[in-house]
Amino acid sequence: MRYGIVVSLALLAVSCGGETAERAGKTDDGPVSEADFTEVDGASLGTVVVAGTCSGAAQMDLERGLALLHSMTYEEAARAFDAATEADPDCAMGYWGQAMTFVHPLWSDPPSEQAFERGRELLRSARDHAATGQELAYIEALEAYYDAGRSGSEKPNLVAFEAGWRNYYDAYPEDPEGAAFYALAQLATVDPADKTYSKQRQAGALAEQVLASIPDHPGAHHYIIHAYDNPELSSGAVEVARSYGGVAPEVPHALHMPTHTFTRLGLWQESIDWNRRSADAALKHPVGDAKSLHYFHALDYLAYAYLQGAEDGRAATVLAELQAVEPPYQPHLASAYTFAAVPARLTLERHLWDAAADLEPRSPSDYPWDTAASSEAITYFARALGAARSGRFEQARSDLATLSGLQAKVAAASPYWGTQVEIQRLSALAWLQFEEGDREGGLETMQRAANMEAGTEKHPVTPGEVLPARELLADMYMEFGRFKEALAAYEAALDRSPNRFNSLYGAGMAATKTGELTKAAEHFDALLEVTSRADTNRPRLEEVRGLVGTHATESV
């Protein structure tokens, strides 16, 4: 694949940074303006190619908007595209870009009715000003999404979006932006149950071709990480993940994206470092007056990574930071998920069952939870499981009833999230059955949950299941004394989520029980390695330290 001349935004920052900063209303004591993205530490947004025929000033804004669009920094991208049409009202690609910012293919947040109609209006303006066949092809690729209409599901739009970009790519195979957007469009329509990862492989290969020609292309970096965000392919994204931050160091989502790969591989310290940077960058770039979804999203990944390393004190600090946030909050799946998941993780990962049972639903109370049933379900899952494990059976049944109602509501809107909530419901029900004495019934239910989970893929909004069903099944096998099956289940959980604290501990203990001492030592050594920065005396960690110390003494 060969591409034409590219324009580096690093060079453009020198000539347009002051003008765009002034236009954005930068103040000495206010939030850093969006224009500063290209100027922090002298870094660039990467290199993009623009097919438009806009005037010089508009072209610079257009290039900036395109780079930000690839990093899914939609609000800032929209302002850049708007600036392009202000500078040149005949800039067709500026109108196209504004319409593109309403479409978030991987975020599960379709445009509102008002945004959808605004997108259509902008595309009509783009078509009116299209000066070349290639500009018209860009417009038609996006029109496919809007022409599908607006309904209760975005799936038809995303299918049309993919078809639109496939048509564009077929017509202009040497345009890197079209190739990148076609890769993105393929990722928007993957089947979560397809364990061959066929579309992810195709999208990743396409993005890799772009990266080979343009080594600092922001979209190629971004979409490779998304394409390989699964257990089988994640190792192929490590190099890209480590270089992406250099493309856009002060773009919150760009700083966060590498941690999808680090989380998949259990590289907890790298995940911690990058998510802290992402959260801090997001605080500098609120969405109006609201805390950005990127801030919340980074905090969930940050807390998860801390907990896997037994850095419980630092994880508690993240929770305190989250609970201290004042409204307004950007309403989004990532925001709601974080509000529910972080407190649940701090209790469930440490098996603090009473504390889990006492979690407060719908916290904070001023968040619009009526639109976030799948996230609200997390709290009721944690409460039900915690109540079951701590002998509070009546509460467990009550919370399970609420969880069932939420599951029905979620499933009606999203089969994927309906399945995720059903896995949670079955997991909590299994432990209630087990603890109430129906041990075989509980095991059967837990097996159903684990098998259902194995047929799905985690959503990018989460670093990992709040508590994996396969790990919970392994815990139950341990209770039965079925240690070989427990070991197999823990190792299956580790295949899906490497270096999880509880799975490493469980696998080591199960291997000890089966007499596979070499395997036990491997799991315990891995646990001690990932907890090298532990700031707590977690009982399980102390137990492993004692076992390893005893074994070392006996070996001497």
CB 368 within 8 A of CB 329: no
Closest CA to 206 of 161, 165, 239: 165
Q: Could you tell me which residues are beta bridge partners of residue 8?
A: 47
The rounded distance, in Å, linking the Cα atoms of 48 and 67 is: 6
Q: Are 393 and 408 in contact (CB under 8 A)?
A: no
Contacts of 19 (CB under 8 A, 6+ apart): none
Burial (CB < 10 A; 0-12, 13-18, 19+), residue 271, is buried
Amino acid 524 reads: F
Note whether residue 459 is domain-resident.
yes
Q: Are residues 119 and 256 in the same domain?
A: yes
340 lies in the same domain as 246: no
Distance between CA 245 and CA 261 in Å, rounded?
13
Cα dist. 377→300, 420, 445, 530 in Å? 16, 10, 19, 30
Range of the domain at 556: 489-556
Residue 286 resides in a domain: no
Tell me, what's the pLDDT at 27? 30
Q: What are phi and psi of 190, to 5 degrees?
A: -65, 150
**Which of 417, 432, 467 represents a domain boundary (last residue)?**
467
State the pLDDT at residue 53: 86
Per-residue model confidence (pLDDT) at position 550: 66
Distance of alpha carbon 82 from alpha carbon 89, whole angstroms: 10
**Number of CB atoms found within 10 A of residue 27's CB:** 9
Question: Which residues lie closer than 8 Å to 206 by C-beta, 6 or more apart?
Answer: 179, 180, 182, 183, 186
CA distance linking residue 77 with residue 398, whole number of Å = 46
Residue 429 in contact with residue 421, Cβ under 8 Å?
no
From CA 126, how far away is CA 121, in angstroms rounded? 9
CB 229 within 8 A of CB 261: yes
Residue 258 and residue 317 in one domain: no
Domain shared by 382 and 518, yes or no = no
Nearest to 541 by CA among 318, 345, 311: 311
Is 275 part of any domain?
Answer: no
C-beta separation of 35 from 80 below 8 A: no
Tell whether 410 and 506 lie within a shared domain: no
CA–CA distance, 428 with 422 (Å, rounded to integer): 10
For residue 280, is it within any domain?
Answer: no
Specify whether 463 is located in the same domain as 493.
no
- The packing angle between helices 501-514 and 469-480, to 10°, is 30
Rounded CA separation 170/154 (Å): 24
Instruction: Kindly state whether residues 323 and 457 are assigned to the same domain.
Output: yes
pLDDT in tens, 74-116: 988 999 999 999 999 999 999 999 999 999 999 888 999 999 9
Cis peptide before 364 (omega within 30 of 0): yes
Question: Structurally, how many domains does the chain consist of?
Answer: 3
Would residue 235 count as lying in a domain? yes
Mark whether 238 and 327 lie in a shared domain.
no
Within a domain: residue 285? no
- Assess whether 18 and 145 both reside in one domain: yes
Among 467, 501, 527, the domain-final residue is 467
Cα–Cα distance for residue pair 471/199, rounded to 1 Å? 28
- Which of 240, 265, 290 corresponds to the end of one domain? 265
Asked if 388 and 528 sit in the same domain, the reply is no
Which token pair is 450? Answer: 């684990």
How is 178-231 classified by DSSP, letter by letter? HHHHHHHHHHTT--TT-TT-HHHHHHHHHHHHHHHHSTT-HHHHHHHHHHT-ST
Residue-wise DSSP of 322-343: HHTPPSPB--SHHHHHHHHHHH
Q: What is the CATH number of the domain that holds 136?
A: 1.25.40
Same structural domain, 448 and 504: no
274 part of a folded domain: no
- Report how far Cα 375 is from the mean position of its chain's Cα atoms: 14
User: Is residue 354 domain-shared with residue 214, that is, in the same domain?
Assistant: no
Cβ atoms of 100 and 118 within 8 Å: the answer is no
Residues of the chain with pLDDT under 50: 1-42, 552-553, 555-556
2 is a domain residue: no
3-state secondary structure 424-480: HHHHHHHHHHHHCCCHHHHHHHHHHHHHHHHCCCCCCCCCCCCCCHHHHHHHHHHHH
